A and B are shown apart, each in its own frame.
Chain A
Amino acid sequence: MVLNGDNAGNIWSFSGLDKESEDWNWEVIDKTELGESPKVAAHQIVGELPDDPFGMEIKSTFTAITGWFQEFDKDIGSDLCGSGMGQSEENIGDRSSLSGFNLVWNSSARFQQEKGILKIDEISIPYGSFNECGFGNGLYDGGDVDPYDFCEETEELYDFCDEYEEVYGESGEGGAAHDALSFALGYLGVKDLLVVERVCRSLRDTVRSDPLLWRSIHIDHPLNENITDESLVKLTDRAHGTLQCLSLVNCSRITNTCLNRTLERNPRLMKLRVPGCLKLSIEGILSNLRDFKSVGTPGIKLLRVGDRKGVTDKQFEELKYLLGADDYTQLRSREPLFYGWDNFALSFDNDRAIDIESCPKCQKIGIVYDCPTESCQAKPLGSHLCRACKLCIERCVRCGRCFNDSDYEETFCLDSICLDCLRHLLISEEEPGDSSSTHTVICQATRYEFRFYG
């Protein structure tokens, strides 16, 4: 296990690991280690709590958990999870404190396992005790925490929340199903979370009170047609100010006012994606970004605005400046981007700061596509004969190739498609099952995009 940081959590972890093989006494650790840590108040409150409320002989673990909780959130009220998670959010940017969090938890689990070993041959170990031990171990070591990848931490904190409920008997009914489900929540999108919220009370409370589930909000078909300013603000507020990634694809009802409010309430937002949001003008986005940056936030780092008509050079330059991406080489040393159904709304996977740029042919600002054909890629660097916006070079709507030396068909939606792709689609349409439905989806997507961009 990699141990980093030097907060109280780590002190505990070390104490747990070091003492593991000894017949240790928690009181000793309590006095020596806690006394040295700055959280003396926590120790006092611990003394007032019952030692072993469930008769499970887990005094040491209990002390570790509660002691840590006192430190984390001194007001353990009825809303244990909610307030606890709220507090944790404030620390989320702090890598070391999160590591500490994981390690404390790991160590508390270790204590319990140690007890388990000692007693294996003497008495039967309560089922629940082992259950907790498993929960407590957490999903990974603190040392692994990647400051930019918070999804995993979502799960970790999740377990924690659940574990807490279990230890203190708050969740009541449901048991394993709820626990298993709560692990899975991190993989669900907005729409599915809203469904899970309606399943039962405990899941509703879990979904609503956990900001980590709402840290990255992605609205796409079919939610985008109905989402309004009001609904979006309600959704983003669930992140309690920790929203980092907001992706609104073709959300034609969202206005600049709403974007402004969202940015105001979520100072940590770093990724913004608004292709096809017709009410969000480029000037409105610009002024929002200006305001956002002026209040001292880290600012948006990745912006996706999609193909828009009438973006001026001046606006483009300012956008790049606001994103901190006015370094020309940074924009050039990026992965190639191919035209196609999947790329109408460029995702964040591509590492460029902004999706639009100046077309080498017509000099207008828009999304500039590369060509996937080998003959075009083989051309000497710098000539970029086959790099342009979709208006300058016509490309296959499926594979993104140009039609310089090949035939193509025009689809019903007035998209062009190369013969290879057409053949492929026709074959897959003849096959029963999944592939044909994929094709239908693609066609729908085409029509859909066409409506907005064509």
Chain B
Amino acid sequence: MASSSSSSSTQVKKITLKAADGKHFEVEEPVAMEMETVKSFFVGNEDAMKDMVVPLLNVSSEHMPAILDFYRNHSEFRKRTPPPPAEEVKAFNEAFLENKSDEQLMEMIMAANFLNTKELLNFLTEAAANRIKNKSVEYVRAFFGIENDFTPEEEARIRAENEWAFDGLDED
């Protein structure tokens, strides 16, 4: 999918996106228009579409193929009549998440937020939420790479306040 520096491509139905690290991606117009951020570049400015390279400075080229894949598949799901069975969508979504590390998931959430696509963002944030459900505080800290900045007193207080709730969490 990645085509090196082919910004001169002027095919009518393709839009060139530039990822954060400068790599170019040629994308079919309908797929690119799934991203509100890209779409807004062209609203009222259709002439620009021919030569425009759209810079997506918050999306690394590492995640770009997967994200585009998501758009392609989901827009295809939406168009299909009758609608695809729920299992098929679910299988795709699970496969999409299967090999993603926690860190990659975080980065993709930020990318989806930047691209302003509700569907992808909702999907990814729900996935992130599922990964921290029923986990311990330490696990969530490690998951997001967050440091504990409470003083021991603060931590003791907050623990005491919510003590009633903390039974039966997975210790992992």
Contacts and interface: CB of A to CB of B under 8 A. Distances in A.
Do they bind each other?
yes
Given A130-B114, A134-B58, A177-B146, A110 B40 contact: yes
Interface stretch (A61-69, A190-198, A322-330): A190-198
Contact of A179 (B110, B122, B140, B167): B110
A117 B41 contact: yes
Count class of interface residues, chain A = 35 or more
A202 to B, nearest CB: 8
B149 A173 contact: yes
Interface in B17-60: 36-37, 40-41, 43-45, 48, 55, 57-58
Contacts of A180: 105-106, 109-110, 125, 128, 144
A74 to B, nearest CB: 29
B150 A127 contact: no
Contacts of B167: 222, 225-226
Interface stretch (B8-16, B64-72, B89-97, B129-137): B129-137
Interface string A13-30: 000000011000000000
A2 interface: no
Contact of B125 (A133, A178, A187): A187
Contacts of A120: 55
B97 to A, nearest CB: 14
Contacts of A234: 161
Given A177-B145, A199-B140, A199-B148, A183 B164 contact: no
A199 B144 CA distance: 10
A188 B169 CA distance: 14
Nearest to A203: B146
A133 B161 CA distance: 39
B153 interface: no
Contact of A183 (B45, B113, B134, B159): B113
Given A179-B110, A197-B158, A125 B57 contact: yes
B125 A201 contact: no
Contacts, number: 154
B155 interface: yes
Contacts of B134: 191-192
A184 B129 contact: yes
Contacts of A222: 167-168
Interface stretch (A75-83, A137-145, A407-415): A137-145
Secondary structure at the B interface, as helix, strand, loop or mixed, is helix
Nearest to A187: B129
A177 B169 CA distance: 23
Nearest to B42: A117
B3 interface: no
Contacts of B140: 195-196, 199
A196 B121 CA distance: 20
A135 B111 CA distance: 10
The 10 residue pairs across chains A and B that have the minimum distance between CB atoms: A134-B114, A187-B129, A137-B116, A177-B144, A184-B129, A184-B128, A183-B125, A226-B164, A180-B109, A180-B106
Given A131-B114, A227-B165, 15 more contacts: A130-B57, A133-B37, A139-B118, A180-B109, A183-B121, A183-B125, A188-B132, A192-B133, A195-B169, A197-B158, A200-B150, A204-B158, A222-B167, A225-B167, A231-B165
8 contacts: A120-B55, A127-B57, A155-B125, A186-B125, A195-B136, A225-B167, A228-B164, A231-B164
Interface of B: 36-37, 40-41, 43-45, 48, 55, 57-58, 105-107, 109-110, 113-116, 118, 121-122, 125-126, 128-130, 132-137, 140-141, 144-150, 154-155, 158-159, 161-162, 164-169
